[in-house]
Structure 1
Amino acid sequence: MCVRVLMCVCAGVSAALQIQCYQCEDVRQDDCSSPEFIVNCTVNVQDMCQKEVLVMEDGIHYRKSCASSGACLIASSGYQQFCTGKLNSVCITCCNTALCNGPRYKRRAASHACRPSVSHYTAPLLGLIQLYLCSH
């Protein structure tokens, strides 16, 4: 019985590691959050969505893509000091749910959408705990 539970947990983890994100490069004014910009991220490699918002003289520019969690979190923390909302501002955000780098609907919802959840990181740990408990 314990082996079956562990197999189910592991199967759920592998399915959860592919997400969809919006992807576009240097789009002005439009935040490229329509269906034609949706892509499937690389399984087990790109586990987050990244969104860059640049405020330039000719308007707001958007870049969106799939990203690995390490690269995205490093980039977002490195540019945090430049995220002012003023001219030449660069804001980079990371999130790990489907299409989370899309439009901001409500301020409250957006703050939760860009906070990385750890559910798919903790699932393997739960599987190991289950294995340990079943063997003792």
Structure 2
Amino acid sequence: MTHDCSTPEFIVNCTVNVQDMCQKEVLVKEDGIHYRKSCASSGACLIASSGYQQFCTSKLNSVCITCCNTPLCNGPRQKKRPQLSAAVTLNTLWLLVFSLILLSFALC
């Protein structure tokens, strides 16, 4: 992929009451992964996606078609923030408490 598909120049408004879904095709080829994003009617998209399920293997020459119906839903995945584990948070808290105790002894 050489472009950020979420920039305004790549955003398309689908035809109201006709193209009520976003369709995303992911093709795995020898030269890399190719994406095709378009508007589609719900019937056409769901038929296409179910027809290609057997070819959706993530291996060479596989094709995956997915459908969604909310704005920008076929765009890039949102980056998830890493969640701090309870152990890391607890360890950090204990380190802070221990540091404060040492500091209070040093000041006395």
Aligned partner letter, 1:79? Y
Against the structure 1 CA distance between its residues 89 and 70, is the aligned structure 2 distance closer, same or farther, given a 3 Å change threshold?
same
Partner of 2:40: 67
Query: Normalized against structure 2, the TM-score is what?
Result: 0.68
User: CA contact under 8 A between 1:55 and 1:88: conserved in structure 2?
Assistant: yes
Matches of 1:71 and 1:89, distance apart in 2 = 20
Q: Which residue of 2 aligns with 1:33?
A: 6
Query: TM-score scaled by structure 1?
Result: 0.54
Secondary structure of the residue that 1:102 maps to in structure 2? coil
Q: Does 1:101 align with 2:86?
A: no
**Residues 88, 31 of structure 1: CA spacing in aligned structure 2 closer, same or farther, 3 A cutoff?**
farther
Runs of 4+ in structure 1 displaced over 6 angstroms? none
Q: Percent identity?
A: 89
Q: Tell me what 1:57 maps to.
A: 30
2:82 is the alignment partner of 1:82: no
CA RMSD of aligned residues (A): 1.7
Aligned residues: 80
Per-residue CA deviation, residues 51-107 of structure 1 (Å, 9 max, x unaligned), is: 000000011111000110000000000000111111111010000000100012258
What is aligned with 2:83? none
C-alpha displacement at 1:35, in angstroms? 1.9
Higher-helix-fraction structure: 1
Deviates more, 1:98-107 or 1:82-91: 98-107
- Rate the CA distance shift 1:94–1:103 in 2: closer, same or farther, 3 A: same
SS in 2 for 1:100: coil
SS in 2 for 1:41: coil
